[in-house]
């Protein structure tokens, strides 16, 4: 507890963890993925953005590793998480700030921009499409690129509902996760810790059994038709080997009045790790342009 850490008490009485890094008038709140993951895989941000003059706020959402983890599946909804972000934003005194959400955090950031646009200076949607049905279609197409015998093995476990099988998990990791979640070998320690600390109740309630089987309560979420309502300067960033269709991300930027898209040429879903230069250069350029009033 180095003086930069702050525990925010929510209106529900639960507590969530935040930490500030850097000191600047340019401030950015980070929304991690999952749902139910943690800020830990964002640790790489400390190596780039504070040096570019950006004050960072890490934050573990309710249910995540550094925050309270209540045993209450009724809490795990998009609407409640969206309002939690606003409570955290107010508790941290953030106005005229940047909001970056990655994966599930990108969905949450889109929802926040649609419901609480006042005070947002800039929006960064990282590695997230505007539609879960579109995401499902794309990840199924990625599965269909696998050898037929691997597809059949995966399907056999899924038909039985045997998602916890060690053999099934090994198939996912070897043939899908290493290609489309993080392409580094071995995975960075921060990424490993994030997966080890995943709150499965949150994840299973909202997403489903894994990244490629989506049965949770946000499975029908789709905001493509609403993107034109987001007028804040926006960067949509993804990667060539992402679990999100790069064409979707480019279409998102076209539909928003003040947006641009960047597709990292070497990266995957965690392109902040496996295509660092492209990823952080795009973010730094976006913030610099917004600050200069040329976006």
* Residues known to be catalytic: 103, 242, 269
Q: Per DSSP, which regions of 89-244 are E strands?
A: 97-102, 120-126, 234-239
Decide if 62 contacts 16 (C-beta within 8 A). yes
Please measure the distance between the N-terminal and C-terminal CA atoms of the chain and give it in whole angstroms: 38
Q: What's the DSSP call for residue 75? A: G
What 8-state DSSP symbol labels residue 77? -
Task: Return d(Cα 241, Cα 272) in angstroms, integer.
Answer: 13
User: What does the block give as tokens for 106?
Assistant: 């990108």
Task: Give bridge partners of residue 18 from the DSSP assignment.
Answer: 6, 59
User: Taking each helix axis from N to C terminus, what angle separates 246-255 and 132-143, rounded to the nearest 10 degrees?
Assistant: 160
Tokens read off for 38? 């943690």
Query: How many CB atoms sit inside 10 A of residue 35's CB?
Result: 28
Write the DSSP symbol of residue 61.
Answer: P
């Amino acid at each position: 507890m180095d003086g930069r850490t702050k525990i925010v008490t929510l209106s529900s009485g639960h507590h969530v963890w935040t930490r500030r890094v850097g000191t600047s008038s340019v401030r950015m709140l980070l929304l991690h993925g999952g749902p139910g993951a943690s800020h830990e895989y964002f640790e790489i941000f400390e190596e780039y953005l504070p040096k570019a003059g950006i004050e960072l706020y890490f934050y573990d959402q309710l249910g995540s590793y550094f925050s309270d983890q209540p045993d209450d599946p009724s809490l795990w909804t998009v609407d409640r998480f969206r309002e939690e972000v606003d409570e955290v934003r107010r508790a941290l005194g953030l106005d005229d700030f940047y909001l970056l959400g990655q994966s599930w955090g990108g969905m949450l950031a889109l929802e926040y921009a649609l419901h609480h646009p006042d005070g947002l200076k800039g929006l960064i949607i990282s590695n997230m499409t505007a539609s879960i049905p579109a995401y499902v279609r794309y990840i199924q197409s990625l599965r269909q690129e696998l050898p037929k015998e691997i597809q059949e093995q995966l399907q056999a476990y899924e038909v039985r509902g045997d998602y916890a099988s060690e053999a099934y998990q090994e198939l996912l990791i070897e043939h899908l996760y290493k290609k489309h979640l993080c392409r580094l070998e071995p995975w960075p320690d921060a990424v490993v810790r994030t997966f080890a600390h995943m709150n499965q109740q949150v994840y299973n309630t909202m997403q489903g059994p894994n990244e490629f089987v989506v049965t949770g309560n946000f499975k029908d979420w789709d905001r493509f038709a609403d993107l034109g309502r987001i007028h804040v300067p926006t960067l949509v960033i993804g990667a060539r080997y992402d679990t999100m269709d790069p064409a979707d991300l480019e279409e998102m930027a076209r539909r928003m009045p003040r947006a641009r898209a960047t597709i990292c040429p070497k990266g995957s879903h965690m392109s902040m790790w496996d295509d660092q230069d492209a990823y952080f250069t795009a973010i730094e350029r976006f913030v610099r342009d917004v600050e200069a009033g040329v976006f």
